[in-house]
Amino acid sequence: MCLCHGSLYPEHDVVPSRYATRIGDIEVMVISDGAIPVPANVLGTNIDPAIRDAALRGRFLPDVIDWGLNVVVVRSGGRTILIDAGMGSEMPESTRTGRLALRLKCAGIAPGSITDVIATHIHMDHIGGLLDERLRSQMRPDLRIHVSRTDVEFFESPDFSHNTFNGIQDIIRTSATNFLDAYKSELRPFDKEYQVAPGVVVTLTGGHTPGHSVVRVASGGERLTFAGDAVVPAGVESPEWENAFDHEPEEATRVRVRLLQEAAETGELFLASHLSFPSLGRIAVDGNAFRYVPTNWAY
């Protein structure tokens, strides 16, 4: 056993925490950084609470929902790309997050082999792993971190006036500042879209944060979209629901609906940061709404 930040972590993690698949010639692995309990009332902030709560009960969701923390490793064109980096030790009181360093090791992925990181946005549960010495100390010196220029500029002096969440603004602000300071020379900000490797493209969407981005993977006629935080629990079935973490709630709704429509039309694989691990599934049209169809577990 090893002692990490006051909590015991086994040297070998037997919890199912990685899921490998392929998109054409591109290797894709979803890795769980753990899960974090989130009160259900952060969802549907624009909906009558009684209607929202009834809808959540109908989906067998509790008053406190475990939000998955999914990250993705992609190999294409000789590059190994980490998409988001989980929580790290940014919330030390949470003993169920910050597992990325361990789980990369269990998956046989050496941090020094990672050539690129894509940060879908600069929230603590997406960049925190890069601030955690368990991972940071092993990263290569020529690492390239791709993040939208819009998010970089926003988090240099963030405005949380449109958010309704309470209690974590200071952690988000501090994590963002530490990240931007620590990786100033590694950052490769992009404006609207950037191809990180053959078939791996990161695209600015905005909404959840002003510079929020999604990642699309395409090869051999197959496609996958990693939607970051554009879709959160209940977001497929109720895409009109705003949530407390969206910086631009109305724009976030437009982005969410557009992504779901696109995924339903193409039949591509679809995953998001906070859906239940391994998150991979497809989007089906269900009347005037959408339905999430998990992929068969074929480990």
Q: What is the pTM of this model?
A: 0.92
User: With 90 as the cut, is the pLDDT of residue 280 above it?
Assistant: yes
Assigned architecture for domain 11-294? 4-Layer Sandwich (3.60)
For residue range 187-217, what is the model confidence (pLDDT) as tens digits? Answer: 999 999 999 999 999 999 999 999 999 999 9
User: With 50 as the cut, is the pLDDT of residue 6 above it?
Assistant: no
In the structure, what pLDDT confidence band is assigned to residue 2 with cuts at 50, 70 and 90?
very low
**Averaged pLDDT for residues 154-181:** 86
In the structure, what pLDDT confidence band is assigned to residue 4 with cuts at 50, 70 and 90?
very low
Could you give the percent of the chain with pLDDT greater than 70? 91
CB contact at 8 A, 130 and 182: yes
**Averaged pLDDT for residues 154-170:** 81
* Lowest mean per-residue pLDDT among 59-68, 154-163, 281-290: 154-163
- Closest C-alpha to 84, from 66, 104, 65, 64: 104
Domain parsing of the chain, residue ranges? 11-294
Strand partners, 226: 215, 271
* Confidence at residue 168, expressed as pLDDT on a 0 to 100 scale: 82
* Mean confidence (pLDDT) of the chain: 91
**Averaged pLDDT for residues 88-111:** 85
**Averaged pLDDT for residues 241-252:** 94
For residue range 14-44, what is the model confidence (pLDDT) as tens digits? Answer: 567 899 999 999 999 999 999 999 999 999 9
User: What's the rounded Cα separation, in Å, for the pair 224 and 32?
Assistant: 18
For residue range 261-275, what is the model confidence (pLDDT) as tens digits? Answer: 999 999 999 999 999
CB contact at 8 A, 230 and 259: yes
Looking at residue 297, the DSSP 8-state letter turns out to be -
* Confidence at residue 5, expressed as pLDDT on a 0 to 100 scale: 34
* Confidence at residue 96, expressed as pLDDT on a 0 to 100 scale: 83
Neighbours of 110 (CB within 10 A): 11
**Averaged pLDDT for residues 144-162:** 93
User: What's the rounded Cα separation, in Å, for the pair 120 and 168?
Assistant: 19
For residue range 255-264, what is the model confidence (pLDDT) as tens digits? Answer: 999 999 999 9
More confident residue, 24 or 134: 24
The two structure tokens encoding residue 198:
């053959």
Q: Where are the alpha helices (DSSP H) in the chain?
A: 49-58, 100-106, 124-127, 133-136, 149-156, 169-182, 249-266
**Averaged pLDDT for residues 117-146:** 95
Could you give the percent of the chain with pLDDT greater than 90? 82
Residue 14 CB burial class (10 angstroms; 0-12, 13-18, ≥19): exposed
* Confidence at residue 165, expressed as pLDDT on a 0 to 100 scale: 67
**Averaged pLDDT for residues 154-179:** 85
* Confidence at residue 13, expressed as pLDDT on a 0 to 100 scale: 56
Strand partners, 70: 32
Strand partners, 202: 194, 215
For residue range 63-99, what is the model confidence (pLDDT) as tens digits? Answer: 999 999 999 999 999 999 999 999 998 876 666 888 8
